[in-house]
Amino acid sequence: QVQLVESGGGLVQAGGSLRLSCAASESIGNINEMGWYRQTPAKSREWVATISWSGRPNYADSVKGRFTISRDNAKNTVYLHMNSLKAEDTAVYYCRVVADRIQYWGQGTQVTVSS
């Protein structure tokens, strides 16, 4: 059974940093794309960043210059380094992995930024 295990969320003050991790089980197959989304009670889930198998990243305008997505292909793991956090970054963050044209979602991890 494929699993995505997220970690790294928490409470941080505005201006601080956090690193999220998402590890996919070995049985997931051939990974194409890995990425992060976030959701608040007031908004639908929104895209944050993705990274291709070759390592090319893309970012939403709202996080560009502050967040960095990276991946370790040997570990089937994607990271989201979040710097200069703002109160509006508060959300549940979900990783998404596309493997063999099937998408998988993590369980979500809460990030709370206090102003």
pLDDT attached to residue 26: 84
- The percentage of residues in the chain with a pLDDT greater than 70, rounded to a whole number, is 100
3-state secondary structure the chain: CCCEEEECCEEEECCCCEEEEEEECHHHCCEEEEEEEEECCCCCCEEEEEEECCCCEEECCCCCCCEEEEEEHHHCEEEEEECCCCHHHCEEEEEEEEECCEEEECCCEEEEEEC
Residue range 47-75: average pLDDT? Answer: 96
Residues 15-48 have pLDDT tens digits of 999 999 999 998 888 999 999 999 999 999 999 9
Neighbours of 52 (CB within 10 A): 14
Cα separation, 86 vs 108, whole angstroms: 19
Which is it for strands 102-105 and 91-99: parallel, antiparallel or unpaired?
antiparallel
- Average pLDDT for the chain: 95
